[in-house]
């Protein structure tokens, strides 16, 4: 199959793009926030230092400081190894290598050349504290680093003549070493601010979710309490002989409608709860929606007959979907239930489908009360106020929320168009299937082996 791959857009700042890609080596999606920032910090350390060390390596080689050139080359190799370990997601090895390797190289360089390299040990001390959480590891590495710095600083010996480094080079080294703490602490101060913002955003999202759940449970509790209270009262009156059998039969018909509606509400709540706990898995398969629509309509025969509704099912038998059959059934059940609930007695409901090369469009249309414009924005959320159908049926709004979630899980779209007083049209667009394909996608995969 031919797949079109667009060419990447030309960037007027190629250096910035390369810098960003190197800084993000090893930073992957789903990585803990603080670990991602630590990895990026070590990458940022390598970015400016690698080219400088490479320049010094070449410069010292031309100036016959071959040992110092070798040490610079080893520094470059260490930095590249850290980037490679990050790429392989071996983060702890990269950190330990950077710290221990740098302590050894900077100590040897400072003892031989007195070029200010000991001040980079202070940077290693800061890095150790920033990238590790283990107290004993921090204490051990810090003790080694401080001891190396003190040995270098207080030995007081001058570098031999052949190891002498020009004073401007020493000034440059010390300046870079003193500049690093400012940059590192500024970076992690920004990291802390970003972390606080992320935690605050999550706290607000969690608080909003809790409010939504409280509202949901209050609505469902009301839906459950009503039919149960009616059933309790009815049974008590029948037990006391206040209802004869004919009256009991008449009352039981009304009670059946309420209990049937209650079952749908509880089923929606359970499915939604499973989805919130990531318990729902989508298993797409190739199947025709026409028989499924017949099954759904059969479930609502009492409600359809009770309002004398005219229902037309016009889904061609040759149309196939590639989606989770059970989830599509839930979508159709809720949309048909809403259409019946808000239809006037004697009204009409239409179920249809059309197919394009890659998608199937399912339509559920009614001629009922419609949806007010001010309620459309909160239709697929908990913000909507529970509404009542033309027969007094109460709705929580959870069914539509579930429809949207299942549509998204099946890579589809859910659209709604409504005119108050004239009716509502729900449109579900899902991937098209094939009549000749295996019913289940997993079976298709198994045949390849």
Domain contains 156: yes
Q: What is the pLDDT of residue 449?
A: 34
Domain-terminating residue out of 144, 165, 186:
165
Q: Any idea what the Cα angle at residue 112 is, between residues 77 and 125, rounded to 5°?
A: 60
Q: Residue 92 is part of which domain span?
A: 14-165
Domain contains 178: no
Domain contains 69: yes
Report how many domains make up the chain: 2
- Which tens digits make up the pLDDT trace of 103-161? 998 888 888 888 888 888 888 888 888 888 889 999 999 999 999 988 888 876 565 55
Burial of 112 (0-12, 13-18, 19+ CB in 10 A): middle
Where residue 423 sits, what CATH number does that domain have? 3.30.565.10
Beta bridge partners of 440: 285
Domain contains 270: no
Domain-terminating residue out of 134, 165, 196:
165
Domain contains 1: no
CB of 60 within 8 A of CB of 70? no
For 2, list phi and psi in degrees, rounded to 5. -80, 130
DSSP string, 327-383: HHHHHHHHHHHHHHHTPPTT-EEEEEEEE-SSEEEEEEEE-SS---HHHHTTTTSTT
Token code pair at residue 218: 């209050």
pTM as predicted: 0.49
Helix (H, G, I), strand (E, B) or coil at 197: helix
Domain contains 378: yes
Q: What is the pLDDT of residue 217?
A: 64
Domain-terminating residue out of 123, 142, 165:
165
For 390, list phi and psi in degrees, rounded to 5. -70, -20
Domain contains 416: yes
Domain contains 226: no
C-alpha–C-alpha distance, residues 334 and 321, integer Å: 19
Q: Where are the alpha helices (DSSP H) in 114-166?
A: 118-131, 135-155
| Mean pLDDT for the chain overall | 78
- Which tens digits make up the pLDDT trace of 249-272? 777 766 676 666 566 656 656 665
Closest CA to 389 of 422, 345, 354, 332: 345
DSSP 192: H
Task: Give the list of residues 6+ apart from residue 308 with CB closer than 8 angstroms, or none.
Answer: 345, 346
More confident residue, 415 or 52: 415
């Amino acid at each position: 199959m031919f797949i079109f791959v667009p060419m990447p857009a030309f960037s007027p700042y190629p250096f910035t793009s390369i810098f960003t890609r190197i800084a993000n080596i090893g930073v992957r999606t789903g990585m803990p926030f603080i670990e991602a920032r630590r990895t990026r910090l070590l990458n940022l350390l390598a970015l400016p230092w690698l080219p400088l060390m490479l320049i010094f390596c070449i410069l010292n080689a031309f100036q016959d400081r071959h040992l110092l050139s070798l040490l610079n080359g080893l520094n470059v190799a260490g930095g590249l190894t850290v980037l490679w370990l990050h790429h392989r997601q071996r983060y702890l090895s990269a950190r330990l290598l950077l710290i221990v390797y740098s302590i050894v190289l900077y100590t040897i360089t400072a003892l031989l050349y007195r070029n200010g390299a000991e001040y980079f040990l202070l940077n290693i001390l800061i890095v150790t504290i920033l990238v590790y959480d283990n107290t004993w590891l921090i204490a051990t590495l810090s003790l080694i680093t401080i001891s190396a710095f003190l040995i270098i600083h207080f030995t007081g010996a001058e570098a031999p003549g052949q190891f002498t480094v020009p004073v401007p080079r020493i000034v440059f080294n010390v300046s870079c070493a003193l500049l690093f703490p400012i940059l590192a602490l500024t970076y992690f101060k920004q990291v802390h601010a970003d972390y606080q913002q992320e935690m605050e955003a999550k706290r607000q999202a969690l608080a909003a979710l809790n409010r939504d759940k409280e509202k949901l449970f209050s609505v469902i509790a009301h839906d459950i309490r009503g039919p149960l209270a009616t059933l309790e009262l009815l049974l008590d009156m029948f037990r006391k002989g206040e209802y004869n059998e004919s009256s009991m039969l008449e009352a039981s018909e009304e009670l059946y409608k309420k209990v049937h509606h209650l079952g749908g509400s509880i089923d929606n709540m359970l499915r939604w709860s499973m989805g919130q706990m990531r318990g729902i898995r989508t298993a797409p398969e190739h199947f025709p929606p026409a028989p499924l629509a017949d099954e759904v309509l059969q479930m609502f025969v009492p409600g359809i007959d009770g309002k004398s509704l005219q229902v037309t099912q016009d889904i061609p038998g040759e149309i196939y979907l590639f989606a989770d059959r059970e989830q599509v059934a839930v979508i159709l059940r809720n949309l048909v239930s809403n259409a019946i609930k808000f239809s006037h007695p004697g009204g009409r409901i239409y179920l249809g489908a059309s197919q394009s090369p890659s998608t199937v469009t399912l339509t559920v249309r009614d001629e009922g009360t419609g949806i007010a414009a001010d309620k459309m924005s909160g239709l697929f959320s908990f913000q909507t106020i529970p509404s009542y159908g033309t027969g007094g049926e109460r709705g929580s709004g959870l069914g539509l929320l579930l429809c949207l979630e299942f549509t998204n899980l099946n890579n589809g779209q859910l659209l709604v168009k409504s005119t108050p007083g004239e009716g509502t049209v729900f449109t579900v667009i899902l991937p098209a299937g094939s009549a000749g394909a295996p019913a289940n996608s997993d079976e298709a995969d198994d045949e390849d082996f």
